[in-house]
Amino acid sequence: MSLNRRELLGGTAAFTAAMMVPQVTLAADTIKLGSILDASGIFDAYGRPMDMATRLAVSEINAAGGLLGREVEVIAYDTQSDMALYSQFGQQLTRQDQVDVVHGGILSASREAIRQTMRRSQTPYFYNVLYEGGVCDRNIFINGVTPAQQVEALVPYAMGQSGPRVYILAADYNYGQITARWIQKFVADNGGETVGVDFFPLDVSDFGATIASIQTASPDLIMAPLVGGAHLSFFRQWAAAGMKDRIPMASTTLGVGNEHKVLTADEGNGIMVAYNYSQELDTPANIAFKERWAAAYGDSSAIHELAVSNYQGVMTWAEAVRQAGSVEREPLIEAMQSGLSIDGPAGKITVDPQTHHAILDVHLMAFENQGMKVIETLPQRQPIDTQAVCDLQANPDDNTQYEIEI
């Protein structure tokens, strides 16, 4: 069962409009922002809105006079969801295009495919996606939530709505494996018990045997860090088996690419999540952001967590350039490490000087009629998982993705 990309993106017209946003006339001496994303292929439901967000942010920066008296030029490459192309395009951006900064990557594998290239070329790199935590590298800035910011909040809330016996279903790669361990830790910390853990390759779409195993284990709660279009099949099959209203469910990933808009209300209602963003956030900043997006692209239906994180990442970089008075790496890093903050559609974003991760708000939510109803906002959560292993102020030459002791 494949992801319905048209519904995820708010229709073909939304992406067509994205490609037709008026381009400013660029001066000869532009600031070059490199972007590498899966704008086509199996992860395009994540990558296309992220590309739209990049272009919207840059158009707003240029409309306000650019940076340092110069306009920002986007040089973007579509990896077509092929990990090998991340390395190729990363080298092209740094060697041929000679960009000043790179924003890009979705899966952890894509981040690691280009991170060392950016480090060797001394090109500042922004990874604007939720991930498993532990990356410690002075050259990278990470704007997505980590498990301590998200899972630590979601697990006790979801257990409080269900019970202590938890079954975990996770994607079988770095993110899913590490997140599953974090879930087990926080289940135990809150007096619960993990009664089953299953891992699934990204192309698995038949969950019949898994549903039977869950029924046998009879848990109180399912935690599902599943990823991508094939894994979306689980939620449909679970509802079709008549299980959705019998055993509550929470996910660390469902909805970051607007998957909840593909599920029917009957399939999705009640699933619990915790993210930095929801279209239903009733704040002046979010309302204004959705209006600007709709003015650029026709409507705001394509906006999702990863798109907003990418937008906020670009805006954080732009503010650092302003404060540094330079796009050069060292002044930029010093500005980012100064405790820099911006206000974005999802709330306040502050750079943690110790880890180069974001301190941000996390919203506990539940799906309701293909939306994300905000139940509680937890302000300015620290990336304490990565803080436990990474101190770039004390060890600026560190270049490790730590497997955090859990």
Q: Which of 275, 292, 310 is the last residue of a domain?
A: 275
**C-alpha dist (Å) from residue 45 to 4, 6, 256:** 9, 9, 10
One domain, residues 15 and 99: yes
Q: What per-residue confidence (pLDDT) applies to 4?
A: 41
Domain end position, chosen among 275, 294, 314: 275
Q: Give Cβ neighbours of residue 334 (< 8 Å, ≥ 6 apart).
A: 324
pLDDT of residue 404: 80
CA distance 113 to 95: 16
Residues 153 and 297 in one domain: no
* This prediction's pTM: 0.90
- The answer to whether residue 378 sits within a structural domain is no
Domain that holds residue 229: 147-275
**Count of domains forming the chain:** 2
Say if residues 86 and 36 touch (Cβ distance below 8 Å): yes
85 and 120 in a single domain? The answer is: yes
Q: Are residues 33 and 126 in the same domain?
A: yes
The residue out of 275, 296, 311 marking a domain boundary is 275
- 3-state secondary structure string across 160-213: HHCCCEEEEEEECCHHHHHHHHHHHHHHHHCCCEEEEEEEECCCCCCCHHHHHH
CATH number of the domain at 271, please.
Answer: 3.40.50.2300
Mean pLDDT, contiguous 10-residue spans, the chain (406 residues): 39 42 53 97 93 98 97 97 94 97 94 96 97 96 95 96 97 91 95 97 93 95 91 94 94 92 92 96 96 96 96 98 97 96 97 98 95 95 96 97 84
